[in-house]
Structure 1
Amino acid sequence: MAPGGEAAGLMDRMYRHQRHVYDASRKFYLLGRDELIAGLDPPRGGAVLEIGCGTGRNLIKLARAYPGAACYGLDVSEEMLATARRNAARAGLSGRIRLEQADATDFDAGTLFGRAGFERIVISYALSMIPPWQGVVAQALRTLAPGGSLHIVDFGDQAGLPAPFRAVLNRWLALFHVTPRGELEAVLDGLARAEGAQGRTTRLYRGYAVHAVATRPAD
């Protein structure tokens, strides 16, 4: 069976046409992505993995911001990966960005990329689209190298936003199969402790978005 099975088919159908306008249409409401990238600070010679890399937009920014880092991306959608490969080539970064198709809840970094772990792992607005999202977080934590950190940005609990705005926002997000993970902070804390890591979560824009980081201690 192809990586992702039914999930891959659903994502391919959803993004077969959307992928061509995805970045232009999302830049106004996928908030916090560039701030995450600016604060990532991977060690020189380290490796960065983006889980749910989509069109490659973030990876291209990462590769440009951190020329000393090796950049990797995985996505369950081959349609999105086709766009990511084309975008990386246009940016002249095909040699610095390696892309593979895989299920975010169950992948082997050694088989895919020949690496045991990564110094930085990024998940940007992907957990809200993956029903078994807790498994994605758990897998990411297991794939961190010693001293590495997992960085997540996604829709938040919206606690500080007006109720009418929240209602409209959530109805609109549902059209794209997006479900904000209001319990992310608690889940990340629990999973991080189980892996010997430490998590922290920051709410952005009155809860519109959330930025979460989990750090694994160095050996």
Structure 2
Amino acid sequence: MPTPTTPNTRYIHGYAPHEANRLGDQADTLADLLHAGTAYPPGSRVLEVGCGVGAQTVHLVRSSPGARITAVDLSAPSLARARAQVTSQAPDADVTWQQADLHHLPHPDGHFDHLFACFVLEHLGDTPRALAEMRRVLRPGGSLTVIEGDHGSAFFHPDSEHARAVIGHQVRLQSSAGGNALLGRELAPLLRHSGFTGVTVRPRTVYADHTRPALVDGFTRRTFIAMIESIRDTALTAGLTTPSAWDRGIADLHRTTEDDGTFHYTFFKATAVRPRP
């Protein structure tokens, strides 16, 4: 689970157990889509930044047996949960757990062969600074993999201005908290401007309808709609909406999970390299 990396950055979905469960559901549902093509050689040093509750770490260790993974997060409770989860599911994995600020990583220059960040940059208040620190600890010629979503990519049937409005409230609240829920579309220029080369960004699209019930349940209901539902009180307190308007928007989102409904969302997966001198 992403956690704040500076006092000015706030994870707007909170840290309750149901949010940790949502992140686990998301990681498991999307593992094949998002982790395909990502595997690190045995013995290689891999840094996962913003590991949170270990939802993505579990899949990293499964796809890269023998890799030496360091999982970093600012939250001690999240790290404890991550350690317990990975230990129970992959007891032989070589994972070092470390509480640290992403903007001040306690590692020497060029220490890691590979870096992995999933759903982390969108929550940061100073993304260029974070990328500069990540570049610092990556060895020349080492690889960076970044996965982010983009809430502007969500569309669905039946269409609904009320549903689009509640998604818009989430985007606005994340922005006011210092993040960017539309970051996926910006990955390519962000990485190039941060000094990485060989930047490649590819869309990873989720499409769910009645012929894909696992995605309807695992992604549309339990990942995306659950994420939007989690900011209800914050949106109401901020005066962005009314209870009736909110409830109408959420009901219309749930309408997309019915037999004649459809839901589409695009993630963006970027790879890049720290250039050699």
Which of 178, 192, 215 is the equivalent residue of 2:195? Answer: 192
Aligned amino acid, residue 100 of structure 1? Q
What is aligned with 1:210? 268
Distance 1:157 1:203, change over 3 A: farther
TM-score by length of 2: 0.62
* Residue 97 of structure 1: aligned partner: 95
Task: Find 1:42's aligned residue among 37, 40, 43.
Answer: 40
Question: Residues of 2 paired with 1:198 and 1:145: CA distance?
Answer: 15
Quick check: 204-213 or 163-172, which moved more? 163-172
Which structure 2 residues correspond to residues 1-219 of structure 1 after superposition, within 5 A?
A: 4=5, 6=7, 14-18=14-18, 20-27=20-27, 31=30, 34-93=32-91, 96-110=94-108, 116-156=110-150, 158=152, 161=155, 164=161, 167-172=165-170, 179-181=181-183, 182-193=185-196, 197-205=197-205, 208-217=266-275
Structure 2: gaps of 5 or more residues: 206-263
Q: Larger C-alpha radius of gyration, 1 or 2?
A: 2
Distance 1:89 1:173, change over 3 A: farther
Alignment-mate amino acid for residue 14 of structure 2: M
- C-alpha contact (below 8 Å) 2:139/2:274 kept by paired residues: yes
Deviation of 1:218 after TM superposition, in Å, equals 5.4
Mapped to 1, the partners of 2:114 and 2:15 lie a distance apart of 27
Residue 160 of structure 1 deviates from its aligned partner by 8.2
Alpha-carbon contact 1:19-1:55 (below 8 Å) kept: no
* Whole-angstrom CA distance in 1 between matches of 2:143 and 2:34: 12
Contact 1:119–1:145 (Cα < 8 Å) also in 2: yes
Q: Deviations over 1:45-86 (max 9, x none)?
A: 111111110111222222122212111110111221111011
CA distance in 2, matches of 1:88, 1:46: 19
Instruction: Give % identity.
Output: 25
1:6: how far off? Answer: 2.6
C-alpha separation between the residues in 2 aligned to 1:107 and 1:23? 24
Matching residue's letter, 1:64: R
Distance in 2 separating the partners of 1:87 and 1:54 = 11
CA distance in 2, matches of 1:192, 1:166: 36
Q: Which has the higher contact order (CA 8 A, sep 6+)?
A: 2
Structure 1 contact 49–121 (Cα < 8 Å) conserved: yes
Answer yes or no: is the 8 Å Cα contact 2:62–2:90 preserved in 1: no
The separation in 2 between residues aligned to 1:116 and 1:203, in whole angstroms, is: 29
Q: CA deviation at 1:17?
A: 3.5
* 3-state SS, counterpart of residue 42 of structure 2: coil
Q: Which amino acid is the alignment partner of residue 184 of structure 1? A: L
Runs of 4 or more consecutive aligned structure 1 residues displaced over 6 Å after TM superposition: none
- The unaligned stretches of length 5 or more in structure 1 are none
Shift of 1:26: 3.2
Is the CA contact 1:189–1:200 (under 8 Å) kept in the aligned structure 2?
no
Q: 2:201 is aligned with what amino acid?
A: T
Letter in 2 for 1:154: E
* CA 1:80–1:94: 2 relative to 1, 3 Å: farther
Note if contact 2:61-2:90 (Cα within 8 Å) is conserved in structure 1.
no
